[in-house]
Amino acid sequence: MPLLAVNVDHVATVRQARLGQSPDPVAAAAMAELAGARALIVHLREDRRHIQDRDVRLLRQTIKTRLHLEMAATDEMRGIALELKPDMVCLVPEKRRELTTEGGLGVAGREKELAAFVAELADAGIPTSLFIDPDPHQIEASIAVGAAYVELHTGAYSDAATRETRQAELDRLLAAIPLARQAGLGVNLGHGLDYNNIYAFKDTSGISEYSIGHSIIARAIMTGITEAVSTMAAIVAGFPD
């Protein structure tokens, strides 16, 4: 049975809007575990726009399932990973001006560099996943690098504007899954998956993990806002005129 891995980055996004303490992604991660998440994901970006070092350290100490750390392949992030030893590292591309990760990691052409990076993590007992587009060349390069997993980027499928484009992107993903599996790679899916488009994979075998964040956090805001407002309204109603 595939795992649900919940990304809590956007809880931190709301917190950082005020540079305060609430909402706390560490608390959100604990609640996600109690609700059925089998892994928690955080992306520690170089610019620290949402998740902070404090968050990752507390998560490593407190979560009961698995901690997956998304990060760029930099010396700084390698040092953090080797110190904290997450249960998995997922290497992702990173641009300063992007709103969110815009595409898969270009592994092809960087095999030597990334192989050394992955090997050092593997020597420390940390398996590596590579966030890639569902492209045979990127899968071949991921094999050469020595990755344990690939996370296939589902963004083009999720964001497709027409039925024809969506089907074409789905076909690319469905072709890439067995290709990677046959090569001995574990396969995860992530980026833009929501409560509707995920059903396209309900009969698809060979997927180890679904990585989902934004749609879960967005739904949590809407499903929880009634209780949050009614509680505050009751408090205010008890104050004097």
Looking at the annotation, which residues are catalytic? 43, 70, 191
Report how far residue 60's alpha carbon sits from residue 67's, in angstroms, rounded to the nearest whole number: 7
Residue 4 Cα to chain centre, angstroms: 10
- CA atoms of 89 and 71, how far apart (whole Å): 7
Task: Give the closest residue to 42 by CA, choosing from 26, 27, 30.
Answer: 26
Among residues 97, 157, 156, 88, the alpha carbon closest in space to that of 125 is found at 88
Bridge partner residues of 4 (DSSP): 210
Closest listed residue to residue 221, CA positions, set 10, 39, 5? 10
Q: Would you list the DSSP string of 17-74?
A: TTTSS-S-HHHHHHHHHHHT-SEEEEE--TT-SS--HHHHHHHHHH-SS-EEEEE-S-
